[in-house]
Copies of this chain bind each other. A is one copy, B any other.
Amino acid sequence: MEHCILLKYIFFLLTSRNIYKHYKHIIYYISNYLQSIFNGLFMNITITCNQSDFMWRIYLNPDSSAGSVEVARKSPVASWLCAMLYCFGSYILADVLLGGCPLDYFQYNSHILLASAIWYLVFFCPLNLFYKCVAFLPVKLVLVALKEVVRTRKIAAGVHHAHHAYHNGFLIMVIIGYVKGSGVALISNFEQLLRGVWRPETNEILNMSFPTKASLYGAILFTLQEAHLLPVSKSTLICLFTVFMATTKVILTARHSHGSPFVLIESWVCHLLFGSPLGGGEEEHHAAPAPVAPVSPVKTKEEFGEGTRKRKSKKAE
């Protein structure tokens, strides 16, 4: 969206009004061409980011009872389908929720080819070079930051799309923006099922990790902006939210932390709204506080959940 505006603005500055009139068409074509290159690059970066994300999650993921590399060797079709779900899961889920065709996104053959190439490199590159490159911390930080840029744009696009379909469906806007931002995390149970893993005791809605939560809050903010209840323009909001997400995520990744900057605010809001006891930040929000959980089976379940929560929060990045 704002690429177009930016490019048009640049062209507007560069060319005087008169020249613009005469050379309108030429400039229009050049502008379109540049945009398409830029968008193509952007899409490639998006897919690369998603795939690298997929790789980090899957490659040495302890949740898979059989290692993922073995899954990829034994049943390449299942592994490739999972990779596609990781890449395009948010589009698929949003299409399903809006009543569209789930396979709609698969018509873009170049995106599929790029994603498949990255999938192939991740799992079958000699000496495991590709994985080592992308997992190298500086490269990883750049990809993580780019991924958050992409996420913000996807949330904004999702909210806008839902606004187009349902003008007053504020909840629909929030849901579609959320789904677009969180992607495959929301259907992780079914993605795991494809790989033969089934862990029903946890899902991304029960134990939200930082990116999922941030997507939810972002979707709410963009919905408020779309409903003209926030006194900022869309571009400003995209810019601010991108900066916030990228810096937070880069810092969290650099520190190998799975915390969340929302802990304090959430703690207070939950205390006010739901009467949760104030206190230990993350522990307070995720784990059951000892005085509230009276029965012992619940407790053991929680302790079990504690172990999976850590893997979970890693997974849902």
A positions within 8 Å CB-CB of B: 65-67, 70-78, 81, 95-104, 106-107, 109, 112, 123-124, 165-166, 168-172, 175-176, 189, 193-198, 200-203, 205-208, 216, 270, 273-276, 285-286, 288, 292-293, 295, 297-298, 301-302, 305
Across the interface, which residues of B come within 8 angstroms of A193, CB to CB? 189, 200, 203
Inter-subunit contact B77/A208 (CB<8 Å): yes
Of A66, A165, A168, A302, chain B has the most CB atoms within 10 Å of the CB of A66
Complex Cα distance, B285 from A77, in Å, reads: 13
What is the count of identical protomers in the complex? 3
Across the interface, which residues of B come within 8 angstroms of A286, CB to CB? 74
In the complex, which of the residues B98, B103, B124 contacts A97, with contact meaning CB atoms closer than 8 Å?
Answer: B103
Inter-subunit contact B109/A170 (CB<8 Å): yes
Complex Cα distance, B131 from A260, in Å, reads: 34
Inter-subunit contact B97/A301 (CB<8 Å): no
User: Least Cβ distance of A166 to chain B in Å?
Assistant: 5
Across the interface, which residues of B come within 8 angstroms of A81, CB to CB? 205
A112, closest chain B residue (CB): B171
Across the interface, which residues of B come within 8 angstroms of A104, CB to CB? 99
Complex Cα distance, B96 from A102, in Å, reads: 8
In the complex, which of the residues B66, B168, B203 contacts A196, with contact meaning CB atoms closer than 8 Å?
Answer: B203
Inter-subunit contact A98/B103 (CB<8 Å): yes
Complex Cα distance, B206 from A107, in Å, reads: 25
Complex Cα distance, B196 from A305, in Å, reads: 10
Complex Cα distance, B285 from A123, in Å, reads: 17
Across the interface, which residues of B come within 8 angstroms of A74, CB to CB? 206, 285-286, 288
Inter-subunit contact B67/A103 (CB<8 Å): no
Inter-subunit contact B273/A124 (CB<8 Å): yes
- Using known A-B contacts A75-B206, A81-B205, A205-B194, determine if residue A171 contacts B70 with beta carbons closer than 8 Å: no
Across the interface, which residues of B come within 8 angstroms of A166, CB to CB? 103, 107
- Using known A-B contacts A98-B101, A169-B109, determine if residue A274 contacts B76 with beta carbons closer than 8 Å: yes
12 A-B residue pairings within 8 Å (CB atoms)? A67-B295, A75-B206, A78-B206, A99-B101, A99-B102, A101-B165, A103-B172, A106-B172, A106-B175, A107-B172, A194-B203, A196-B305
Inter-subunit contact B205/A106 (CB<8 Å): no
Inter-subunit contact B72/A169 (CB<8 Å): no
Complex Cα distance, B298 from A124, in Å, reads: 20
